[in-house]
Every structure is written in structure tokens, then in C-alpha cells.
Structure 1
Amino acid sequence: MPFGHDMVHSLGTVVDLLNSAPEIGGEETLRDLNDLATFIRQREISGIDHLDEGELTQIHTLRSDFHRILAAPDDPSAVTLLNALLSETRITPRLTEHDGHPLHMHYFAPGSSLAEHLAADCGVALAQLLITGERERLRTCCAPGCSRAFFDESRNRSRVYCDSRTCGNRMHVAAYRARRRT
């Protein structure tokens, strides 16, 4: 299934947000407003006028909500959690072009807080994964000692590591060495 720019971007934002948590990524990377501003810049999140400490707290809460959705044992549980999240979000769909990106859809209401902005845009992307039966594309790394999240865009849903250059390479080298020992 081909994924549009806006969906890939939103799901990438979910992944980066999840991986900023100590329970997934290993260390807290959204410690203060400077870290949050860097996250916004790196993820090219538009429409954010200001940040305050309340935003950071809301983003940590949203991150926990996304983690619960990712960890849901089945689709109906994920749907229930996502519906609860979306019910608290003002959603105003509109087409937009910005920052050199092609025409795409934004779902957040103008003037939304960062957390509401991400809940709307990322929540709708997660909803699309559930609607299309593709929830398993958002998963955690299979490498021992790694629990980082990733979005599998491969055609046959075969990706198992968060990064082929780190976890994938480490696991392939370990398998090679195990074969050589026998």
C-alpha cells in the first residue's frame, strides 16, 4: 500500500515522539523547551506560534497515549484508545502546501496547541493504519535490548529492526559468528 507524504510524515512523527521516551528510546530526549523546539524543527511541524512548559507536559502525556495505542493487544483496543484521544481534539481538515512539500492534508485546528496539533494529524494517520488493516506496520525493533519504535514502509511488511545499520547489522553479525562457531 503506498503511503502519502502527510501520512508518512505523521507516522514518522509518532515514531520519533515514541522514541524520545526513556521506556522506548533509552533516554529522555524531550527534557525541556529547547529539546521540544529542536523536535519541532527536525520534524518540520508547521503552525506552532509559541511553546511553554505546559506544552512539554502535554507532549509527554500525548506520547504516553501513543505508546498505549502502539502497545494495545488488538485492533479493537487500539481503536478504543485512539477514539478517546481523537474525541478530545479539535479536527479541522484542510489542504495545504508549505515548506516545499506537495499538496497534503492537515487536520489540526488553526491556533491549536502543539499537543492538539500532533494528536489531530498523527491520530488521523494512526486511524488510517487501523482502517486499512496496517497497524502491524507500526512496531518495535526485534533486536534484543532494543525497544525503539519504527514504521515499516516495505512492500511485504518484512522490516524487523529499527535501523538496518545498527540493530540489523548487529544481529546479522551475531548470526554469522554463531554459524562460524558450529
Structure 2
Amino acid sequence: MLFAHDTEVALVATAAMINADLSDVAALDAFLDPWGWTGARAHDDAELAAVQAACVRMREFWNADEDAAVELANALLREGGALPQLLRHDGWDYHLHATPPDASLDVRMTVETAMAMIDVIRLQQLDRLRICAADDCDAVLVDLSKNRSRRFCEGGCGNRGNVAAYRARRAARQPG
């Protein structure tokens, strides 16, 4: 494991959230359920808009160099009033929380992402934050593979790319 478990979960959840179609409150609820987000929820359009805006800001990590990532992480932590603490709940062993449970969802999300990015930056692993290699996709991904080989998102882009490459090789071998 490259990062602590909660860091990996936060990174993957952030990438999934950035890539998700959060077009309405029901879509946000459906996205959040499997990820086990705890704390206060408003379940309204204002919360949805705040989460959508947070996704735009968190996406900046995927294009940031180290200095820009540090600046963004620090800004998110300051704005969220982060006060890191170790907690244990819901079957999870000790892990970091940096906001109180009554903080708004977007603040909890951005602070958790910033906390995860601290580990990424300190371990000099920003290159593990990638944009899908498919020409027609701009989804973000986190490469947690040992050999740093992940290039495609989970939206089927890798499979489509492999099929296209196979067909191109096959067509090149056939006499014209």
C-alpha cells in the first residue's frame, strides 16, 4: 500500500466525485451512499451547488505542479477550518478527520481531499494523479498500481482503446 487506507479512499472518492454526473440532489445522494460519507447533510440544491463548485476546485490538483498543489491544499484546509484529529467509527480503525461532523458536505469533502493531497505531496507522488489517456475523455484517475501503469479511467476507455488498437493492427496486416 502506497498511502494510508483513508488517504487512498479519499483520493479514489475524490476522482470518482469529479468524474460523476452530479446533476441533481438525487444523483449526489446516489453517489454518496456507497462511499459512506458521514456528517451533516442538507439534501438541497444549495448543497449540490457547493459540492459541484468543490469538484471544480479539487480537479485543479490533477493539473497542478507541486507548488500549486501545496497552495491549493493549504487554502482548502484554511477555508475549511481544518483541525485534524484521529477518530475511529463505523468499522474503520483510527483515521484522520479534520472537520466537525456538522461542517457542510462540501467543506468536509474539500478538507478530506486536501488532507489526502498532503500525503501525495509529501511522498512526491503527484504524478499518480492523471487525466484519462483516451483522446475523447477528460476523466481524472488515481494510479495506485505498483508499476505506475494505469492510463485510463474506469469508464471503459482502456477497453475501447485496446479494441481500436487491435483492429488497427489487424487491418494493417491484411492485404489491401
In the alignment, residue 131 of structure 1 is paired with which amino acid?
R
Residue 54 (structure 1) aligned with residue 26 (structure 2): no
Q: Mark the runs of 5 or more structure 2 residues left unpaired by the alignment.
A: none
Q: CA deviation at 1:18?
A: 1.0
- 4+ residue stretches of structure 1 with deviation over 4 A? none
2:135 maps to what in 1? Answer: 144
Residue 122 (structure 1) aligned with residue 120 (structure 2): no
CA distance in 2, matches of 1:174, 1:50: 45
What TM-score do you get using the length of structure 1 for normalisation?
0.85
1:24 maps to what in 2? Answer: none
Change (3 A) 1:60 1:49: closer
Q: How many pairs does the alignment contain?
A: 172
2:18 maps to what in 1? Answer: 18
Match of 2:161 among 161, 171, 175: 171
Q: CA deviation at 1:49?
A: 4.2
Q: CA deviation at 1:155?
A: 0.8
Q: Mark the runs of 5 or more structure 1 residues left unpaired by the alignment.
A: 21-28
What is the percentage of aligned positions where both structures have the same residue? Answer: 35
What TM-score do you get using the length of structure 2 for normalisation?
0.88
1:67 maps to what in 2? Answer: 59
Match of 1:153 among 144, 165, 168: 144
Change (3 A) 1:82 1:125: same
Q: CA deviation at 1:71?
A: 1.9
CA distance in 2, matches of 1:78, 1:95: 24
| Kept in 2: contact 1:15–1:149 (CA 8 A) | yes
2:76 maps to what in 1? Answer: 85
